[in-house]
Structure 1
Amino acid sequence: MNAEIIATFLERLWLKQGVSKHTSSAYGTDLKKFLSYLLSVESGEVNLLAVYPEQIEDYLLWRRQQGLSPRSTARAVSALKKFYTYAVTERLCASNPTERLHQPKQTQAIPHSLAEVEVEALLNAPDESDPVQLRDRAMLELLYATGLRVSELTLLTHEQISLQQELVRVVGKGNKERLVPLGETALEWLLRYENEARPLLSEAQSDYVFITRRGGPLSRQAFWYRIKYYAKVADIRSHLSPHTLRHAFATHLLNHGADLRVLQMLLGHSDLSTTQIYTHVARERLQQLHAQHHPRA
């Protein structure tokens, strides 16, 4: 019964709230971990729809004792809150045991980025004489030029790109739409890929822009492996993550004078507080400008 309830809840999240499959999967994992904990401490059967607030508080205390990160616990709390809000709305349970539950405090980690010279080396790493690597070069250029999430890039379709207006229309988290400029350089590499590489990769008809030899889109994981390969070719030893070029896009924009509101729109953050994680960059830039221009610096 518990498994069926979780499955129905996750399907509703995707259908009604536009939650991404990645987030939905993470919530499912969090709920199953909570259920597993209950089964380990309770005697007899466990019903997720008959849980008391004290049981959830004990679970969060147990997570802390296990040394689990505040970030992962915050996501677990979010999953539980959404699940029990859904359960009450659907009249599956009488009260919400998470009603007075607060998110655990967590320090925002400064995202890892790359220096501009490192980005340049990464972009130049693919061999453009190879159709696959020319495709990868176009993807890297587009990723750095637009700040897209990797999943947004790999699932990009032709109808989302306006060559005439040099814009890409992105449908991000929560089905929120945004328009992002492509930039001349990314556009040039995109056109080179479309004209020179894409016809050699596959003759299969596909709406996806970036395709494999089978004609389908790259997976998020496959493209991440490609990035790590080019980082090795370029001898880049900085920490890399799937979001590294997105963070580099944001960091370098701020370094060159963009403000947080503009950055918020380009990144597709619904709340400015999410974008404010980059304020350390703006602060460092102000300090540099002050040291460079103030007569008493």
Structure 2
Amino acid sequence: MIVTGGEQAIIDSYVDTLWLERGLSDNSLQSYRRDLQQWSGWLVGRGSGVMQCTRADVLAYLGEQHKAGKSPRSIARLLSCLRGFYRYQLREGRLLEDPVADVDAPKLGRPLPKSLSETDVELLLAQPDDDIAVEQRDRAMLELLYATGLRVSELVSLRFSQLGLAQGVVRVTGKGNKERLVPMGEEALHCLEQYLRGGRPQLLADGESDVVFPSRRGQMMTRQTFWYRIKHYALRAGIRAPLSPHTLRHAFATHLVNHGADLRVVQLLLGHSDLSTTQIYTHVARERMQALHREHHPRG
């Protein structure tokens, strides 16, 4: 699409302002410039221009983007670009009316967290070898992570003072400095006690550490190191599903909801301050039920 000299000057002036006022990177500036050039070229093809367009033009353009297969997120980003451009023109007194003012952004929908099936989790947890100290540690970490839904950062920083072995609970201080008690479950507790008696003393040798799951050097493990260990066992188990550092946390919540757990209980266990954050797992459970219905119902 061709952009005329006058239109290009208007776009360049706005992009220069973005650089001066917001200090955006070259990539961001080029992205704004490209979106506005495409918008301008489309308008020129309709006998209009960026300073003459109407709300109807904006709606028509966004409609064409949708038909072309652009995602709601891409369209929302484009609309945000246009909104900033026209607010700037109004501020500079070059326009009397904003053609984007009453145009609503598309609903994005919250992305579903990556999770694993219960079978995949069982496969993953079965990979570490209890006869190897470091793998016994990893087994205890994986079991505890899946049993409690801790954040990876909460797991690797766990101290002995946070363990209630007699009660079978772990005390965690999460985001916003909020404390919560989470039950471990029998299997995780068994693996943890086995590791504390065997693998951990071997890892530390004669050293000391208050960290429950130290590295080979007796220091607190990094999140990145544990993430690497998860990927290592997933590869060993033949799991091809996409993973994230919080895969087992999401599996913990998803499987609880799938088995009928109350959403507010899951909220407390995860340490979410707002129930709306936890409600994403109802969508995950609904998708699971729909998939099962399609697979097993004769008219699915």
- Shorter-normalised TM-score: what interval? 0.5 to 0.7
Q: Name the SS for the 1:170 alignment partner.
A: strand
**1:289 and 1:236 mapped to 2: Cα distance?**
20
C-alpha separation in 2, matches of 1:281 and 1:220: 26
Deviation digits for residues 110-137 of structure 1 (CA, Å, limit 9, x no counterpart):
1111010100000001111100000000
In angstroms, what is the RMSD of aligned CA positions? 3.6
Are positions 1:204 and 2:204 aligned together?
no
The TM-score with structure 1 as length reference comes to 0.64
Q: 2:283 aligns with which of 272, 280, 285?
A: 280
- Residue of structure 2 aligned with 1:41, choices 16, 19, 23: 19
Structure 1 residues 146 and 40 mapped into 2: Cα distance closer, same or farther (>3 Å)?
Answer: same
Q: Which residue of 1 aligns with 2:146?
A: 144
1:195-215 Cα deviation digits (max 9, x unpaired): 010110012211110011211
Q: Distance in 2 between matches of 1:218 and 1:147?
A: 18
- Percent identity, aligned pairs only, is 58
Structure 1 counterpart of 2:167 = 165
2:253 is aligned with 1:250: yes
**Is the contact made by 2:146 and 2:249 (CA closer than 8 Å) also made in structure 1?**
yes
Answering whether residue 223 of structure 2 is matched by residue 220 of structure 1, we say yes
Kindly report which structure 2 residues correspond to 1:87-166, keeping only aligned pairs within 5 A, or say none: 106-166=108-168
**How many angstroms apart in 1 are the aligned matches of 2:109 and 2:287?**
19
Q: 1:190 and 1:38, CA in 2 relative to 1: closer, same or farther beyond 3 A? A: farther
Q: Partner amino acid for 1:245?
A: L
1:238 partner SS: coil
Cα-to-partner distance string for 1:167-212 (whole Å, 9 max, x where unaligned) = 1011001111111000000000000100010110012211110011
CA displacement at 1:259 relative to structure 2: 1.6
Bigger radius of gyration? 2
The residue aligned with 2:56 is: none
Q: Is the 8 A contact 1:264 1:272 kept in 2?
A: yes
Question: Is the CA contact 1:204–1:214 (under 8 Å) kept in the aligned structure 2?
Answer: no
Cα 1:144–1:158 shift into 2, 3 Å: same
- More displaced stretch, 204-213 vs 266-275: 204-213
Q: Distance in 1 between matches of 2:147 and 2:270?
A: 11
Q: Is the 8 A contact 1:169 1:180 kept in 2?
A: yes
Runs (4+) of structure 1 exceeding 4 A deviation are 37-40, 61-64, 103-106, 284-291
Distance 2:290 2:238 in 1: 31
CA contact (8 A) 1:70 1:106 kept: yes
Equivalent AA in structure 1 for residue 235 of structure 2: K
Unaligned runs of 5+ in 2: 1-14, 36-71, 78-104, 295-299
Q: Equivalent residue for 2:186?
A: 184
Q: Which residue is equivalent to 2:195?
A: 193
| 8 Å contact kept, 2:112–2:284 | no
Partner SS state of residue 281, structure 1: helix
Aligned length: 216
